[in-house]
Amino acid sequence: MNPLLEEIELVKQQALLLHSEAEVEAALDQMAANINRTLADSNLLLLCVINGGIIAAGKLLPRLDFPLTLDSIHASRYRNATSGSDLHWLYKPTTPLSGRSVLIVDDILDEGHTLQGIIDYCLEQGAEQVFTAVLFDKQLDQEKPVTPDFVGLTVANHYLFGYGMDYKGYLRNAPGVFACKEVL
């Protein structure tokens, strides 16, 4: 077996389940209800942050009961590593942002630098207002540059995977939120 796949399997086997699939789905229901109340009349453009936000955005979309458009954005600090570096733009939305209300959907708010960079980009492109939705807000012992408008669940400061969050590019599809044993 490939050494990386062996590592991935070991990480998966040793991980601690923090939030079950049912808990995450209930959090998505609550997030959607809050978004529906707040943004229903806003001519919303939902921006999915690739790759982590795919699951959160995909699960939120059918729960949002008002007209909206969808596009994506890909800015990364991690690039399949376990720690971040400078912001790297891989894809920018093709939908004009000028005059639009934008909801940025991502998997997790960690230190907040990537999300802040995306917010700044949207405002530079003329977005009328920018909202943020994260499925998970990681609790850190430091202040973050951004506070999300919509949060699914608060999670402890562990290296996590599942529901869009990855370990070295793998395990985004795990049915729940797991903490890697090595950082517990």
Report pLDDT digits (tens) over 92-116.
999 999 999 999 999 999 999 999 9
Q: Which whole number is the average pLDDT over 126-143?
A: 96
Between residues 83 and 66, the one the model is more confident about: 66
CA angle 87, 55, 11 (to 5 degrees): 80
Report pLDDT digits (tens) over 169-178.
999 999 999 9
CA angle 27, 30, 31 (to 5 degrees): 85
* CATH architecture assigned to 3-183: 3-Layer(aba) Sandwich (3.40)
Please report the DSSP string for 12-61 in residue order: HHHPEEEEEHHHHHHHHHHHHHHHHHHHTTS-EEEEEETTTHHHHHHHHG
Is it the case that residue 128 has pLDDT exceeding 70? yes
Instruction: Give the pTM.
Output: 0.92
What is the reported pLDDT for 183? 46
Check: CB of residue 76 under 8 Å from CB of residue 92.
no
Burial class of residue 149 (count of CB atoms within 10 Å of its CB; 0-12, 13-18, 19+): middle
Kind of pairing, strands 101-109 and 176-179?
A: unpaired
Spell out the domain ranges in the chain. Answer: 3-183
